[in-house]
Amino acid sequence: MELQNTVKEALNALYHHPDDSVRMQADRWLQDFQRTLDAWQVADNLLHDANSNMETLIFCSQTLRSKVQRDFEELPSEAFRPLRDSLNALLKKLHKGPPIVRTQISIAVAALSVHVSAEDWGDGGIVKWVRDEMNSHPECLPSFLELLTVLPQEAFSHKIAARPERRRQFEKELISSVGIALDVLTACLNLSEFKEQVLEAFASWIRLRPGIPSSSLACHPLVLNALSSLSSELLSEASVNVISELIHYSTAKSSGGLSAQMPLIQILVPHVMRLKGHLKDPSKDEEDVKAIARLFADMGDSYVELIATGSVESMMIVQALIDVASHPEYDIASMTFNFWHNLQVYLTDRDSYISYGNEVSMEAERSRRLQIFCSPYEALVSLVSFRVQYPEDHQNLSKEDLKDFKQTRYAVGDVLIDAASVLGGEVTLKILYMKLVEAIGTCRNDEMCDWRPAEAALYCIRAISDHVSFVDAEVMPQVMALLSKLPHQPQLLHTVCLTIGAYSKWLDAAPSGFSALASVLDILMRGMSTSEDSAAAAALAFRHICDDCRKKLCGSIDGLFNIYQLAVSGKGGYKISAEEALYLVEALSMVITELPPDHAKKALEALCEPIVTSLQDVINQGPVAVQKIIARELTIHIDRLGNIFRYVNYPEAVADAMQRLWPIFKAIFDHRAWDMRTMEALCRACKYAVKTSGKFMGATIGVMLEEIQGLYHQHHQPCFLYLSSEVIKIFGSDPSCANYLRSLVEALFSHTTHLLTKIQDFTSRPDIADDCFLLASRCIRYCPHIFVPSPVFPSLVDCAMIGVTIQHREACNSILTFLSDVFDLANSTRGEQYKSIRDSVVVPRGASLTRILIASLTGALPSSRLDVVTYTLLALTRAYGIKSLEWVEATITLIPLTAVTEVEKSRFLQALSETASGADISALTGPVEELSDVCRRNRGVQEIVQGALRPLELNFVPVS
């Protein structure tokens, strides 16, 4: 009683106390209470207490439901029947009570039936028990109908801490009882006040995919009743749910698929088609129209394979879907978007026509179908294109509404791409071009004109750019000619610039492309000076133009330099941010790559000169100034140099530039090594120089490595490891670099292993862990001769064992990948010679490694990591065969049988053994997921398993 009163007081505080801290304290106490063993009895008592208020009833019903779902194993086996009887009494008591409480109790009973087999439940299992209870207590029908509704839903609920084998058994029990359930529901149809509940329960059982023969379903009273409800004046939501489930059921593999379910399909489709007229009936309620539209969308999605044949009947469904797509409400129209995509795939994918035999027949059928569907897709283009138009009050849209509008534009863009895949880019472009012409006809250079229709048409034209031929000579020249005539409204200019960028390949390939380049560059310069948004779009488009038209623009390099210098100097009135200026750097770098070598080298120097001058000015002010300057004032210039090194594809020229720049880079390394942002930018620039220059960097690489090796010891910047990874990739196999690479590797790894000595170190420095083990994997791939025989190799394996269970995703993946690379070492020709060294390190640690990996599978790491942990365990098992299986078996034996049964353990061991012997890894996926599921089924079991395996407390074998 004292605990019951405390619960009531805590609930009162949670809902009514004015002090936030008191409410939070009450909430924490209630959450802790729900995990206790006492929660069972207290929640049950309070639910039966007539004096409990609504807040108490809701909390206690949720507590009891959660306890049954997750913690049923806490109870002794003899507690089952009293618990069932108590829940049954509550169902009867609450048949007219609060629906929210009744639902929680119904879910609790359903969850209980998942835990307990039909034999142990007695009375022929849960469904027969419900039937008998309904017959004995007809006044409690609402409660038992709700229980019948939630039962099939709980069959697949992973909130219930049941073993996978029991969950499968429960599904079979329900499917074998489906006849009883449907008989009960059919009998209840006569009670008109319960008809909605009956149909909702029926929909729930159909969702179970129970394998009822089509001929039986087609004439079943429940189906006929749902169909007749469609025709009534008041459209029933429950009947719509039933028909929707039946549509999905008729195509499910478990029900035999389309051919087996044709009798059902032939009765469903005509009934739904009769609703077509309601789509455009203004007197219809919007919710009713939405429900009808949903049925048509379900038919389209489910029967798309039949519809793609282009039969007369299927085209009637297509016309209905066109009507849905034309609805003024976007939420209704967009229900069809998935159908248009799936239909496009069926129409254009070669696999759809394989049954037609030879290529000639396949192509003939494909052409026939595409021809049939031209008209619907042409209509679709016109119907959806207006939806991307900015609303009149666009300037007043909230951030959320603006986000929704952008999502609408993306979705419409995808539909237009689907249409272009069927119609061809040129046909789709013509339709959209006519809309652009129409929009421009009402919008000259008058500032008061409505720019929005033209912007919408251009947005759509841009969306299909990948489907328009590079050499289209009919429409694209006219589109390009119109762009310069449009008003300079910021949003419109933004889309104009993006459209130019999207058609950069056309500008390069089309005969008229070169003459258009001058005019589009003028538009881009206008975009750069109009608004921040249009400037960003113009800079991106400039990059695309210079990338795709680089050969044509070689003769205009001086003009391009002028644009670049005006933009980065801030003297041209351009509104380009520092980030967008990088697009201009990239653009010029791409054009420079096409110049003859001598010209390219001079152009590269000219491109670097203003950047180098700015950095040199800072360096000349002395070390104190370099240390005090804001990071951004350095990184803005360093990032530009990095992009030049990345995109100017002249290795020798970039290597020379890097050599000249090294004194500046060294000064920044020396005086800013404490600053992560500056170091990341500098290491990124060095990385691109190394990638582009390759072996030509030989003159600079030694001093660069010496620099970062010394600085890493002082400042622990992860980017030093990341830069070293790139160096290892390029120079790892170069014998002339072996000595200083060995020194680098040993210094970096030795220091890192001293930084990461316990799991807390990994958690506080995940970026160092991530980059360290990425570098280690690179060493295994590119310089095993340096890394594997080195004294740091064993200590790095130990370090990996400590950090495997880090929760940080990238760091964890890098550690696991490193371990699997170690285990797979002997699979490559370069690594095979180091097998004995690897074995001397791994074998003494094998049992501990195995235990850590099994612990990771069973709860130490999130279930989202199962794939990568599984591969690592499999790599270990394939490398060490029987010995590794002994390690696994010894580890599995540690887990108590209360958590994992012998059958579950042996199933996992058998699958691992077969996969290690060469079976496909996919055969291991199911058993691993099951073991993981069993060990994580509730908090208590997970604690038992991790307590038995103790992955963080293992005594590692010292390196001999």
User: What does the pLDDT look like over 92-113, one tens digit per residue?
Assistant: 999 988 999 999 999 999 999 9
Give the contacts of 776 (CB within 8 A, at least 6 positions apart): 749, 787, 796, 818, 821
Residue 959 has pLDDT above 50, yes or no: no
Average pLDDT over residues 820-831: 88
Q: Are residues 152 and 98 in the same domain?
A: yes
Give the residue from 180, 207, 234 where a domain finishes.
Answer: 207
Residue 144 has pLDDT above 80, yes or no: yes
Rounded to an integer, what distance in angstroms lies between the CA atom of residue 404 and that of residue 423? Answer: 28
Q: What one-character DSSP code corresponds to residue 958?
A: P
Any alpha helices (H) in 231-302, and if so which ranges?
Answer: 237-249, 257-260, 262-273, 286-302
Rounded to an integer, what distance in angstroms lies between the CA atom of residue 730 and that of residue 725? Answer: 9
User: If you search the block for the tokens 């690379």, which residue do you land on?
Assistant: 821
Q: What is the DSSP string of 577-600?
A: -HHHHHHHHHHHHHHHHTS-HHHH
Q: Between vectors from CA 877 to CA 871 and to CA 879, what angle results, nearest 5°?
A: 105
Q: Are residues 150 and 179 in the same domain?
A: yes
Q: Are residues 59 and 167 in the same domain?
A: no
Instruction: Answer yes or no: is 166 within a domain.
Output: yes
Say if CB 528 and CB 495 are below 8 A apart.
Answer: no
Say if CB 264 and CB 217 are below 8 A apart.
Answer: yes
Q: What one-character DSSP code corresponds to residue 443?
A: -
Say if CB 760 and CB 808 are below 8 A apart.
Answer: no
Q: How much is the pLDDT for 261?
A: 86
Q: Are residues 63 and 136 in the same domain?
A: no
Say if CB 296 and CB 324 are below 8 A apart.
Answer: yes
Q: How much is the pLDDT for 88?
A: 96
Give the DSSP H or E segment for 224: helix 221-230
What's the pLDDT tens digit per position in 317-366?
A: 999 999 999 999 999 999 999 999 999 999 999 999 999 989 999 999 99
Rounded to an integer, what distance in angstroms lies between the CA atom of residue 811 and that of residue 795? Answer: 18
Residue 514 has pLDDT above 70, yes or no: no
Give the residue from 30, 55, 75 where a domain finishes.
Answer: 75
Say if CB 170 and CB 155 are below 8 A apart.
Answer: yes
Instruction: Answer yes or no: is 790 within a domain.
Output: no
Give the least confident one: 557-566, 658-667, 760-769.
557-566
Instruction: Answer yes or no: is 802 within a domain.
Output: no
Q: How far is CA 689 from CA 543, 711, 862, in A?
A: 20, 20, 38
Instruction: Answer yes or no: is 364 within a domain.
Output: no
Average pLDDT over residues 603-625: 93
Confidence of residue 569 (pLDDT cuts 50, 70, 90): confident
Average pLDDT over residues 592-609: 93
Residue 446 has pLDDT above 60, yes or no: no
Rounded to an integer, what distance in angstroms lies between the CA atom of residue 15 and that of residue 839? Answer: 62
Rounded to an integer, what distance in angstroms lies between the CA atom of residue 134 and that of residue 141? Answer: 6
Q: Are residues 87 and 53 in the same domain?
A: no
In this structure, what are the phi and psi dihedrals at residue 62, rounded to the nearest 5 degrees? -65, -40
Rounded to an integer, what distance in angstroms lies between the CA atom of residue 353 and that of residue 365? Answer: 7
Q: Are residues 81 and 202 in the same domain?
A: yes
Rounded to an integer, what distance in angstroms lies between the CA atom of residue 779 and that of residue 731? Answer: 11
Q: Are residues 13 and 58 in the same domain?
A: yes
Rounded to an integer, what distance in angstroms lies between the CA atom of residue 320 and that of residue 330? Answer: 16
Q: What is the mean pLDDT of the chain?
A: 92
Confidence of residue 444 (pLDDT cuts 50, 70, 90): low
Q: How much is the pLDDT for 513?
A: 59
Task: Supply 85's token pair.
Answer: 């009887």
Give the percent of the chain with pLDDT over 70.
98
Instruction: Answer yes or no: is 335 within a domain.
Output: no
Confidence of residue 308 (pLDDT cuts 50, 70, 90): very high
Give the contacts of 623 (CB within 8 A, at least 6 positions apart): 670, 671
Q: Are residues 81 and 191 in the same domain?
A: yes
Instruction: Answer yes or no: is 807 within a domain.
Output: no
From the list 384, 398, 559, 529, the residue with the least C-alpha distance to 460 is 384
Residue 283 has pLDDT above 90, yes or no: no
Dihedral, 367, 369, 373, 375 alpha carbons, nearest 10: 50
Average pLDDT over residues 285-299: 93
Say if CB 472 and CB 435 are below 8 A apart.
Answer: no
Average pLDDT over residues 649-656: 94
Rounded to an integer, what distance in angstroms lies between the CA atom of residue 9 and that of residue 404? Answer: 44
Say if CB 949 and CB 935 are below 8 A apart.
Answer: no
Q: How much is the pLDDT for 740?
A: 83
Q: Are residues 82 and 69 in the same domain?
A: no
Task: Supply 697's token pair.
Answer: 């960097």
Domain count, the chain: 2
Q: How far is CA 185 from CA 191, 213, 235, in A?
A: 10, 18, 20
Rounded to an integer, what distance in angstroms lies between the CA atom of residue 421 and that of residue 423? Answer: 6
What's the pLDDT tens digit per position in 462-491?
A: 999 999 998 888 899 999 999 988 888 899
In this structure, what are the phi and psi dihedrals at residue 390, rounded to the nearest 5 degrees? -60, 135
Side chain identity at 798, as an amino acid letter? D
Residue 302 has pLDDT above 60, yes or no: yes
Instruction: Answer yes or no: is 765 within a domain.
Output: no
Task: Supply 2's token pair.
Answer: 């004292």
Q: What one-character DSSP code corresponds to residue 160?
A: S
Rounded to an integer, what distance in angstroms lies between the CA atom of residue 384 and that of residue 340? Answer: 12
Confidence of residue 930 (pLDDT cuts 50, 70, 90): very high
Task: Supply 115's token pair.
Answer: 């835990």
Give the contacts of 193 (CB within 8 A, at least 6 positions apart): none
- Across 913-948, b (16+ Cβ under 10 Å) vs e yields bebbeeeeeeebeebbebbbbbbbbbebbbebbbeb
Confidence of residue 448 (pLDDT cuts 50, 70, 90): low
Average pLDDT over residues 657-662: 94
Rounded to an integer, what distance in angstroms lies between the CA atom of residue 377 and that of residue 322? Answer: 9
Half-sphere exposure of 61 (CA within 13 A, CB side): 25
Rounded to an integer, what distance in angstroms lies between the CA atom of residue 812 and that of residue 821? Answer: 14
Q: How far is CA 133 from CA 85, 99, 375, 923, in A?
A: 12, 19, 58, 44
Q: How much is the pLDDT for 391?
A: 92
Residue 69 belongs to domain spanning: 1-75
Instruction: Answer yes or no: is 300 within a domain.
Output: no
Q: Can you list the pairs that 131-134 forms with residues at least 24 positions away whose Cβ atoms lie under 8 Å?
A: 131/180, 131/184, 133/88, 134/184
Task: Supply 486's token pair.
Answer: 């449009």
Say if CB 476 and CB 506 are below 8 A apart.
Answer: yes
Judged by DSSP in three states, 222 sits in helix
From the list 466, 318, 337, the residue with the least C-alpha distance to 414 is 337
Rounded to an integer, what distance in angstroms lies between the CA atom of residue 834 and that of residue 793? Answer: 12
Give the residue from 26, 54, 75 where a domain finishes.
Answer: 75
Other C-beta atoms closer than 10 Å to the C-beta of 506 total 23
Q: Are residues 34 and 149 in the same domain?
A: no
Q: Length of the chain, please?
A: 960
Q: Are residues 88 and 39 in the same domain?
A: no
Rounded to an integer, what distance in angstroms lies between the CA atom of residue 652 and that of residue 696? Answer: 6
Task: Supply 512's token pair.
Answer: 């008229």
From the list 600, 669, 598, the residue with the least C-alpha distance to 634 is 669
Q: Are residues 57 and 110 in the same domain?
A: no
Q: How much is the pLDDT for 675?
A: 95
From the list 344, 300, 347, 341, the residue with the least C-alpha distance to 320 is 300
